[in-house]
Each structure stands twice: as structure tokens, then as C-alpha cells.
Chains A and B, each alone.
Chain A
């Protein structure tokens, strides 16, 4: 119920955040909205000794158009992403998915960056970022770098960020094809997805079908080869390794992936 003791530090700037992180080393974690990290700490599944609160870095909370892409600051809350007119008009998939994360209270605190860095395979937004071919911008002791979404999610709760690196921005190109769909299958509305499918045009990414979000490559290849959406969707489970839990076994998840991709492709086409 209560986190183990830790030292709280507050960063007044990105530079300060980075230097505090360098000092803290492995014992330090960034605290943004806290709605991925604090729940883990309350169950004592995570016990960082130092928390660096970056929540006041308002300069990292923005949605703007830049050079043909949409730039979203890492500290933009899900609520702000979901209600942003710019995201709504240019990246409706992202707006819609952000509006489905958790519940309203969670969306008021949780941030896009926080969700992505947490990299929960059951999370919605990593799959959305993946299907949108986003670029993640990070700043660290070695400077600034850009990481393609396809290289960002490395494993269960693991990303390509190096120790001491801070995710600052998510850069999303305008989609080439307009149709989109977000198929989130849950038991209750508030639950994590049992399986999810994020569709933008002919690009498909899957939620909770492996230890990271996955592009449904076999589906995309089939579509590129001229297959009808319903036929392409039959390939949805290929190349996936879905987990088994009290909600679903492997077979059921594979079945859901096929159904959700089929529905997602159909809906995306109706919106194109």
C-alpha cells in the first residue's frame, strides 16, 4: 500500500533532471504522472531509492505541428492528448486510444511518455506509436538522439532508453492513409486490453500479443500483396507469442487477434 522509503528530488529543468539522474544512477527513476510507477512502488514491486519528479517541466507538455509531423511532448497527459484538437484532426487513432487509457482520473495524471517508457505489453499507446511509425526523442548524458518506434520497445517493461536518459518528445508523421481503428478488447471497460489492434491505413499493430507491441507484419504483407482485409486478418497471430493468464489462453488470444484485426481493417476502410 505504501512505497518503500525513497528520496524525493524535484527537477526544475531538463538539464537538472539529467544531472540528478546521472547522480542517482541505477537507484533513481524519473517520476512523471506517476501512474505507471507509483502503483508498482505501492506494491513494492519497484523500490527505487530516488525519485526525480519531472512533473513540473511544463516545457515538455505540448502538442504542435512541426515540419509535417505532430510533435507531442513526453509529459503531455492522456487527457490532453485525447482532447487536443490537433491530435484529433491529424492523428485520430492516437486521440481515441489516449481517451481509452484507464479511467478519467488516470488520464488526468498519466503521460504519453510515461506510458511509453513503462512499456507494458498490455498498454495501448505503445502499439499506437508503433503503428504510426513514430520517432521517440530522448536526451541523456550522451546528448540527444532519435529512436524509431520499431526499435524502442525491447522487451517486457524494457525500452531502448539508456540509464539516465529522458524521453522528451514523440514525433509522429502525418499518416499516409487516413482510415484508422482502435479495437481494444477487454472484460470490463476499465481493464487492460486482453488483446488490442491499432490500425492506421494498411498498418496494424497488436496489443498484448507478446512481451512488446508487435506490428502484424504478416497481415501487412498480405495487404500489400493485394489480399482482401478479411483474408489478411487471418494472419494476425503469425509471429506473435501471446501470454496466458486468467483472462485468456494462447489460443483465445490468437483468435481475438484475428477477429480484432478483421474488424479494425473494416472500420479503418470505412473511415478512409
Chain B
């Protein structure tokens, strides 16, 4: 599969979850595992541009497809993606554990709905749990990123 634009090829056991393929084989550890019931969204990545919970996708299902993780968002010069920048400016993260998944869910949300209302943001992030921020600044970050218009 292609991960953040680079080909990653490996032989792995059939039951390998995409999130473990990304973490252990591709060496991209930003994406985290937060639960075991597809509930928390910490593992969210983009699969062909759409947000998915990578703990509930087999690596084999992603074979031949394009995966984007948070490590692949910044541009070549290391400049943060508008969503990352918005999370930073709005203090949309504290411990950082939910953040990669939250950011990827946001990128997908804004791709499908570039000018969401606050309610649409909150509903759009219903699959992503955060324990630190109370969501308040995450919502502000998403709205700021949408406002910025350069997603």
C-alpha cells in the first residue's frame, strides 16, 4: 500500500490490523490504539481520502490503496497543514493521544463539508473521544480551519 505517498510492502499475518501495520511495519507511531470496540477514533487515518478507524480495517483490505496518517499532512517544507495549525492555535490538544485521529477525522470532515456549523462539527466528531479538552477547543480548531478556507 501507499502510506503518506510512499510504498510500503510487507508480508504480514492475515489478521494484522491496519493500525498495527502502520505502527509496526511502516514505523509510523503517531496513530494510536485507544480501545478495542471501534469506539474511540484514536486510530483514525484516511483510506483513499476518507476517514476510517484503522483498528477495524485489516491491512489486507488496505492492500493496494492509499493511506494517509497525521505524519503525512505537513508539506515538504515541514509547514503544518491548516488543520494542524488550527489545532495548535486554538489549543485543541493537551496530552496529544487522541490528536492524530482527531486531526485526520477533521480533515475528512472538512473535505466532505467545508463550512460546517458547530453542531455539524460536534456530530462529525462523534466517533472521536477526547478526555482532556472537553472538545471545546477542538471544535474551535475545526471551525477555524474551515474559516481559513485553505484546506
Contacts and interface: CB of A to CB of B under 8 A. Distances in A.
Interface in A172-199: 188-190
A1 B38 CA distance: 10
B126 interface: yes
Contact of B15 (A5, A53, A106, A108): A5
Interface string A12-43: 00000000000000000001001100110011
A34 B41 contact: no
A103 B61 contact: no
Interface in B117-137: 123-124, 126-128
A79 B38 contact: no
B58 A8 contact: yes
Contacts, number: 85
Nearest to A77: B50
Contact of B52 (A5, A10, A43, A109): A109
Contacts of A7: 14
Interface in A87-120: 102-106, 108-109
Interface of B: 13-15, 17, 33, 36-39, 41, 44, 47, 50-53, 55-58, 60-61, 105, 108-109, 112, 123-124, 126-128
A3 interface: yes
Nearest to B62: A55
Contacts of B109: 104
B15 A6 contact: yes
Given A43-B37, A79-B50, A104-B127, A53 B60 contact: yes
